[in-house]
Chains A and B, each alone.
Chain A
Amino acid sequence: METIIELWAFLRQRKKIWLAPLVFIMLLLGGVLIIAQGSVVAPFIYTLF
C-alpha cells in the first residue's frame, strides 16, 4: 500500500496523473500474467529494466 501511495505522489509531482489509469490496468494485467506464468524470469535486455 505504501508503494501505491508513493507512486501516486510521484505521478502528481511529475504532473503525470494521466498515467494513473494505465498504471492501474498494468498492475491488474501484470498480476494476471504473474499468476499465468508463475515465474518472473525475464531475458537481459537492459532497457526493460
Chain B
Amino acid sequence: MNIIGISAYYHDSAAALISDGDIIAAVQEERFTRKKHDASFPAQSCQWLLTHSGLKPQDIDYVVFYDKPFLKFERLLETYLAFAPRGFSSFRRALPLWIKDKLFQKQQIIKALQQSLGDQLNWQERLMFSEHHLSHAASAFFPSPFEEAAILTLDGVGEWTTTSMAMGAGSGITPMKSIEFPHSLGLLYSAFTQYTGFKVNSGEYKVMGLAPYGTPRYADLIKQELIDIAADGSFRLNMRYFDYCTGLSMTNKHFHRLFGGPPRAAESKLTQKQMDLAASVQKVCEEVILKLASDLKVKTGAENLCLAGGVALNCVANGLLQAKGIFKEIWVQPAAGDAGGALGAALALYHAHQGTRLKSSHHTKPSTQNTSGAYQPQDKMQGAYLGPNYTSNEIEAALNSSGASYQKYTSEGVVEQTAQALAKGQAIGWMNGAMEFGPRALGARSIIADPRSPNMQRQLNLKVKFRESFRPFAPSVLEEELENWFDLKAKSPYMLMVAQVARQHQIPLSSQQQQLFGIEKLNVPRSQIPAITHVDYSARIQTVSAQTNPRYHALISRFFALTGCPIVVNTSFNVRGEPIVCTPQDAFRCFMGTELDMLVIGDFVLEKKEQNPKLRVSYEAKYELD
C-alpha cells in the first residue's frame, strides 16, 4: 500500500511517501520553491516523490491531508461567537479567505493533485483527512524505536487541540487527554516571540537561543497573570492579555502594560529586557512540559516518551526532560512541526488500515547498543535523510553549467581535503547525500567549521549566515565521543537535545567576566570549543553515527585525528531567511554569495579562491528576513 501524506495551506507544506508502512521519502516544499515556510500545495514535492520512488500516480492508494478543515472552521466560528462583538476586524479579514478558499480545501487539494500528478485518476476516492494532533502523534510514535510509549504533542493550535497526551502500543494510538484552544503553550511562546520583536512561527527558536543571556525575572509574573498551571501540567491562559482570538496581533495593551511597554520593533537593538523575557517564558514552558510529562508517566506507566508538535523543537526543554530521567528514553520526531504532520498523517492511515506496526525499513540497521549501555533499537527515520539526492553526473553537470571550478576526489580524498581545510579554520559548505527532512541540517546540507576557534561564532554569524550575532551554533559530535565532551547520556541524532559541555572542557569565568551582562558574555571564551558553547555552557547537540551518515562520521573522525577534537560546528547551509539549499545549483549560489571558503558537493571540492570572481553574487538581500 502506497500512501502520500500532505501538509499545506498553513505553513511548512510538505509531502511524504510511505510504502507498506516503510518510510520511503519526505520533503518540504520550501526546498524546491526557495520560499521559507512555503504554505502552498506541495506540488513539486509530490512530483519528486513519484520520480524518486519510480511509482506512477495510479500506484498511490491514498493521499492523506494532515488536518481537518471543517473542524478548524468550527473552531473559528465558535471563537468569534464567544468573543462577539469584539473581533470584527479580524473576522472581516479572515472570513472572506475561508469562504473563498479554505472551506473548499477538499476541492482545492483534488484540483492540485490533478494538476501535479495527473487528472486521469479519481483523487476524490483516494483522498483522506487526519486530525492535526493525531498526525503529530503518529509522526512521533510510529517511526520511533519503541513498541510502547507515552506520546506528548504540543504546538500552537491544530483544529481545536493545542496539547495532547496519548499512549502508543503496537499499531494503535489511544488518546488520553487534551487541552484545547485558546489555551496553548505554543501560542504563549509565540506571544513572547512577537513581543520581543521576532516573527511569529519562525522566531521562536531565536527566543530559545536568547534565553540563556537573561534571568527569568518575569517568570513569577507570567505565572501570576498569564497562565494558571495545575499540578498535572494542564493549564489555562488568561485571555485578558492576548489578542489572538479576536485581533490581528498576539498580545494586547494589557500585556504591554504588564511588561512595561510596547513590543520591541523588529531588527532594533536587543536589550536585557528581551533577554529576561525570553529566559522567563522558557522557564515557564519547561515547568509545564515537565509537569505534563510527569503526569503522563504516572497515568501510563510507560518507560519511554515520544514527542512531536512545534513545541517539541524546543531542545532546551527536551534536554531538561531527558536530564530529569522521568522516562527511560525520549524520542523526538525530527520534523516535529507541521511538515512532519505529512508523514504522521500517512502513518496514521496506514496503521488504522493495517492494524500492524510499521515494518522496519530496509535502509535501517539492526538493533544497536546506545551510549548509556541500554538496549536501544534504531528508529525508522533513516537519520532524517529522506529528501532529494543527486548523482555524481548530475552534480558535475550542474557545476559545469554554473561555470564552477572544481576538483573531483575519491570518497577518502574528499574527507581528507575537507578535514584539512577545517583544521586550517576554513568555513565549508557541505552537501552530502540525501537532504534532511525537518528544520535541522544534520550533515547533508550543512555549513561546517572548527569549533575551537574563538572567532568562529561571530565570523559565521556575520559573514556567512548574515544573521544576529547572539545566536549560537550547534555541534556535531561523534556518537562514541559524546560522553567525553557533553553531559548527555542518550544519543541526539536529530539535534533536539541541549546539554552542558562537560566540566573538564569548560573554562570558568573570572569574577570580572561574571559581572558581564547579556551579549557581552558572548565574547568571553567559555570552553575549549567556544563556537558551539552557549553563554550558559550549553550546546544543542547532534550525535553522528557511522550507520546513518558514514561520510560525515568519517569526516569528523579524520578531523578528530588531526586536532584531537571530535566535534565540528554544524549550521544549516543557507543564509538568513533562505530555505536550506537543496540542489547543487542552490549550494553553489550560496557559496558564491557568502564568505564560505570551500564547497563540497558529493565527490566534488570547490575552493573560493579558484572561482571566477565574476560569479560572485550579492545574495543576502534576496531573502526576506525571518
Contacts and interface: CB of A to CB of B under 8 A. Distances in A.
A40 B101 contact: yes
A42 B200 CA distance: 15
Contacts of A23: 77
Interface string B232-265: 0000000000001101111000000000000000
B107 interface: yes
A17 B247 CA distance: 27
B96 A47 contact: no
Interface string B93-111: 1111111111110110000
Interface SS of chain B: helix, strand, loop or mixed? helix
Interface string B66-104: 000010101011110100000000101111111111111
Contact of A46 (B10, B97, B100, B101): B10
B77 A19 contact: yes
B35 interface: no
Contact of B76 (A3, A7, A40, A48): A48
B187 A37 contact: no
Nearest to A27: B99
A25 to B, nearest CB: 10
A42 B93 contact: yes
Interface in A1-49: 2-3, 6-7, 10, 14, 16, 19, 22-23, 26-27, 29-31, 33-34, 37, 40, 42-49
B201 interface: yes
Contacts of A10: 70, 74
A26 B95 contact: yes
A22 to B, nearest CB: 6
Nearest to B102: A49
A47 B156 contact: yes
A30 B99 contact: yes
For A14, A22, A47, the residue with the greatest tally of chain B CB atoms inside 10 Å of its CB is A47
Contacts of A43: 93, 248
B77 A40 contact: no
B357 interface: no
A27 B73 CA distance: 12
B587 interface: no
A28 B414 CA distance: 64
Contacts of B93: 42-43, 48
Interface residues of B, number: 40
Contacts of B104: 3
Given A3-B106, A47-B245, A33 B95 contact: yes
A46 B76 CA distance: 11
A47 B100 contact: no
B157 interface: yes
B421 to A, nearest CB: 41
A30 B95 contact: yes
B78 A46 contact: no
B181 interface: yes
For A19, A22, A30, the residue with the greatest tally of chain B CB atoms inside 10 Å of its CB is A30
Given A27-B99, A30-B95, A44 B200 contact: yes
B201 A3 contact: no
A5 B10 CA distance: 25
A2 B77 contact: no
A22 B96 CA distance: 15
Contact of B200 (A14, A34, A37, A46): A46
A29 B201 contact: no
Contacts of B9: 49
B297 interface: no
A43 B194 CA distance: 14
A6 B102 CA distance: 14
A33 to B, nearest CB: 5
Given A47-B157, A47-B181, A48-B76, A26 B97 contact: no
Contact of B99 (A16, A26, A44, A45): A26
Nearest to B98: A30
Interface string B422-464: 0000000000000000000000000000000000000000000
A19 B96 contact: no
Contacts of A22: 77, 81
Nearest to B338: A46
Given A3-B106, A14-B74, A19-B74, A45 B249 contact: yes
B616 interface: no
Contacts of B106: 3, 6
B374 to A, nearest CB: 39
B156 A6 contact: no
B11 interface: yes
B205 to A, nearest CB: 16
Nearest to A32: B96
Contacts of A45: 90, 200, 244, 247-250
Given A16-B74, A26-B95, A34-B99, A46 B90 contact: no
B103 A7 contact: yes
A2 B200 contact: no
B546 to A, nearest CB: 40
B99 A31 contact: yes
A29 B93 CA distance: 12
A3 B96 CA distance: 16
Given A49-B97, A49-B102, 14 more contacts: A3-B107, A7-B70, A19-B74, A27-B99, A33-B92, A40-B100, A42-B94, A42-B97, A45-B200, A47-B156, A47-B157, A47-B182, A49-B10, A49-B72
List 3 A-B pairs, minimum CB-CB distance, nearest first.
A30-B99, A48-B94, A30-B95
19 contacts: A2-B107, A19-B77, A19-B78, A26-B95, A27-B99, A29-B95, A30-B98, A40-B96, A40-B100, A42-B94, A45-B90, A45-B244, A45-B248, A46-B10, A46-B200, A47-B181, A47-B244, A49-B10, A49-B94
Interface of A: 2-3, 6-7, 10, 14, 16, 19, 22-23, 26-27, 29-31, 33-34, 37, 40, 42-49
